[in-house]
Structure formats: structure tokens, C-alpha cells
Structure 1
Amino acid sequence: MTYFADLSSRQVAALASHERVPVLLLPVGAVEPHGPHAPLNTDPLISRGMCERAAARLAGDPGIRVLILPEVPYGVTRFAAGFAGGIPIGEETLHALLTDICGALIEQGLPRVLLVNNHFEPAHLVVLRRVVETVEAKHGVGIGFVDLVRRRHAARLTDEFRSGACHAGRYETSLVLADRPDLVDVTIQRELRPVHVDLARGDATDFVSAGMTDAYCGEPALATAEEGEETFSVLTDILVEAIRELV
């Protein structure tokens, strides 16, 4: 079994003493608009896709057992204000939820927890980094966080990702096409014009003021499932490396 919540209580109790070290992946994202063509759950979908691929790659590893926790799809998302579908939660709500989840697992003898995030709003990332610090201070355990915007990870990803113009653009849309093509309106996608906005600059406060009048930037019209699979392969490499470092 790959999914933590599919196990019975007795099976979970046996994990801590198992010869294969359990690593629990926690997919994180946000429910928010991703242009007129992509689903609201784009971010958690990508996080879950990374986790599933990493679990499959390590399925035969004799020393590691990867389990995927139920995802946390809600995040800090204020940039999408004014568009339908966004469900933001506050910083303290997210911080409390994630630290409580990690703490509950640590107290059951399952300390190797890894946050897997694909929502890059700056305030959201600040919370995730603070969760790592809080958990370590409270429990004396260092959990993991795959922080894809860090230079060492971003350098391995696409040009559009590094440009900062990747919200619902070619990068994210390709990943959704690779995992759930049925959720992309390709008729609309192929007609979308490029929108060059650098969300990584740090001075953007919302999509509209940044020039993203349709809640996307980058070049979604160029997205393909093939590029998405290639990117997922790199993301899986990064995640598998983080899993091994955590163990």
C-alpha cells in the first residue's frame, strides 16, 4: 500500500519497528484559479503527482518505505483575490495544521515527514519554512521540506519556472496535462496569449495588479504532456534525493 490512510491502525503501529524505514510524504498546495483553462487544484495535483511517482520509484527499495499522507490542499493564497474559486486560509491556520500533523506522527514514532509543496506564493512559503523550524524546536526532530524555489532545485527545472512567470503557464499546464489531461480545457489553452510577469520579483501583491487579468502568466499555449512528463521526472529525482537525505 502507498497511501498512509489506507492502512489499518495495527499496520501503522508496526511501521516504526519495520526493517524498511517509513518516510511519510505530505502533499501541500492551494485551491486557487489557474487561468481559464486549468483546474483550481493544480498545485496539490502536482504535489500528489510527485509523491506518487517517488513512491513508485522506491517501491522496491529494501531500506525505505514511502507512504503518502492525505494531502493538505488549502494554502495561503491572496494573489488570486477577485477571481472565483480561491479558498485562502490564514498563515496561522496553515502553520497550526501542519505542525499538528507532523507532531502527531512524530509522537507515534514516525518522525520522517517530508512536506511536498507546489504553491509558491511568498507568504505560503514563509509558513512552510516556519513549520520546519517549529517542529524541530518543539519535538527535536528535523522534518523535510522540498523547497523548489531554492536555487539548487530551480536550476534543474524549466526556463519558464526560473523566470517566475509560471503560474498556470507552460510549466504548470504541462504537468497537469501529463497527470490529468481531462482537467485542462485545451481549446482555451491553445488560444491563450503569452503573459510575461515575474512573480518571483517579490513586489507583486495580486494577479490583477501584476497584469495577470486571466489569472495566468507564462505561455500555457505551448504546454504539452510530453514536457510535463519530463518535468515530473526531474521533480521526482529531486524528491527521491530528499527522501534519501531524510533517511
Structure 2
Amino acid sequence: MAGTGDGDLAGAAWPDVAAAPLVLVPLGSTEQHGPHLPLSTDTVIARAVAERVADVLRAQAGGQVLVAPAIAYGASGEHAGFPGTISIGHEALHAVIVETARSLAAWAGRVVLVNGHGGNVATLDAAAGRLRREGHDAAWTGCGIPGGDAHAGFAETSVMLYLAPGLVRPFGAVTGETRPLDVIMPELVARGVRAVSPSGVLGDPAGASGERGREIVDAVVASAVLRIGGARVDERGRLLDPGTPSPKARA
């Protein structure tokens, strides 16, 4: 754990767990991230964001905030053309999320999934919505980078240079598909990432730096802290940004 070191659920014994803690569950993937980033990139980022969010929330409000072991497999079918990718698909991921949160509900106060992979979003919406209809205090938030490129480009490469520089391979000669995502999305959906970008990169890692990665992580953490602290959730289980109208207000 970064910071205080007292929120790692995997390293705790059962008497260490207080009554009704907030539990953050990192959700990532095991999928290709170009020739320069590890298959664990989304999981590394989700875990790091969850750890830093837990430290901030613990310092702000007190009480126990735990970070559960990361769920390292997601819905990554679009990356199936690359060796190393492991995708469990939407149906299996839905079951994992639902059963994880149901189990946590026996002793946790709130459960928040911290998602690091865009391909998991549809499943999270369905699973978190179901959990809330069942009466569980479960929700999710993402690690999205506003304005960032789509996959294994400048943003993710910078973040990994900050979080795990030893896992980043040379990327000076790496090329990616730099057309806007909305332009290439039909082909991505129909044929997968490899048909659009042989390197697996959607974006351009050129110029990435650990310093920029630190700035990105700080911004993502600050945003997640505000959403989790605000505890306002829509019908899909998504935590809302401050100032966003509530679902009732929109209806």
C-alpha cells in the first residue's frame, strides 16, 4: 500500500477488519498494451488509483478504508488478436462483480469498484445496477483520463512511467493508430484492435514522461475522491461528479 499501509485487505487478518468499512475493489484487465507496456497495465493503474484514493479518504474522514485484491481479468475481446490477452467476457465478468459485491456486503459498509479498463464499462453498468436494485450499497468509478488517447498511447505510457517504470519498454519507434476513436470505432467493433492497429496502440506514446504521469494520476485520484466522497450514484451504479444533477433531477 502507498501511504499509511493499513488498508491492504489481502494482508489483513480478520480481526483487523473494522465494522462496516468502505472497500475499494480495483478492476483491471490482462490484455495487450502495445509492444512497450505490460499486459497488466490496466490492473496496475486501477490498483494504484484505489490505494491513493483510500489514503486520501482515510486522512479526510477517518474510519477504515480497505483496498481489496484486484480483479485482473476483464472483458477484453477486442484485443483477442494479440498473444497474452486473457478475456473472460461480459457474462463471466458480470458474475464475478455481482458475487464479489454480494460477499463483501456481509461485512462491508460500502463497496466501490475502481475500474481501469474501458471494455469493462458496459458490464459494470449492468452489474452495479443489479446490485443496487438488490439493496446493496455498491457503485463504481473509473480511472479515465480526460482528453487522453485511447489505448497505450501518451497518457497510459506516462502513467506507467510514473507508477512502474521498470515495466515500460523502449517506445521511441512505436507507432499507433492516431485517428479519432469515433472514426475507427466501427472497424474496432467489427474486427478488433489488431485490424486497426498492428502494434495494438491507439494513440501515440511519443513524449510520454513520468512527470506527466504523476500529474495525470493526481488528477484522476482527486476526481475519484470527490465522487466517492459525494456518494451520489445514478441508476447504473456510476458515482456522479460533483455538480452533476441527480438521477431524479434529470428525470
- TM-score normalised by the shorter chain: which range applies? 0.7 to 0.9
The one-letter code sitting in structure 1 at the alignment partner of 2:202 is: C
Q: Aligned partners of 2:103 and 2:13: how far apart in 1?
A: 16
Q: Is the 8 A contact 2:176 2:197 kept in 1?
A: no
Structure 1 equivalent of residue 216 of structure 2 = 231
Structure 2 equivalent of residue 175 of structure 1 = 159
- Share of identical aligned residues, percent? 31
Deviations 1:88-130 (A, max 9, x none): 102111111111111111122x131111111112xx2110111
Which of 190, 196, 205 is residue 172 of structure 2 equivalent to?
190
Structure 2 equivalent of residue 19 of structure 1 = none
Identify if the C-alpha distance between structure 1 residues 137 and 49 changes in structure 2 by more than 3 Å, giving closer, same or farther.
same
Structure 2 equivalent of residue 119 of structure 1 = 117
Structure 1 residue runs of 4 or more that deviate by more than 4 Å after TM superposition:
none
Structure 2 equivalent of residue 8 of structure 1 = 13
TM-score by length of 2: 0.82
Q: CA deviation at 1:200?
A: 5.0
Q: Is the 8 A contact 1:112 1:246 kept in 2?
A: no
The one-letter code sitting in structure 1 at the alignment partner of 2:71 is: V
TM-score by length of 1: 0.84
Q: Aligned partners of 1:147 and 1:180: how far apart in 2?
A: 20
Unaligned runs of 5+ in 1: 17-21
Q: CA deviation at 1:141?
A: 2.5
Q: Is the 8 A contact 1:175 1:232 kept in 2?
A: yes
Q: CA deviation at 1:62?
A: 4.0
Q: CA deviation at 1:242?
A: 2.2
RMSD of the alignment, in Å? 1.9
1:107 equivalent in alignment to 2:91: no
Q: Is the 8 A contact 2:94 2:124 kept in 1?
A: yes
Structure 1 equivalent of residue 141 of structure 2 = 146
Q: CA deviation at 1:194?
A: 4.7
Q: CA deviation at 1:55?
A: 2.2
Which of 128, 132, 135 is residue 136 of structure 1 equivalent to?
132
Unaligned runs of 5+ in 2: 1-5, 233-251
Q: Is the 8 A contact 2:32 2:79 kept in 1?
A: yes
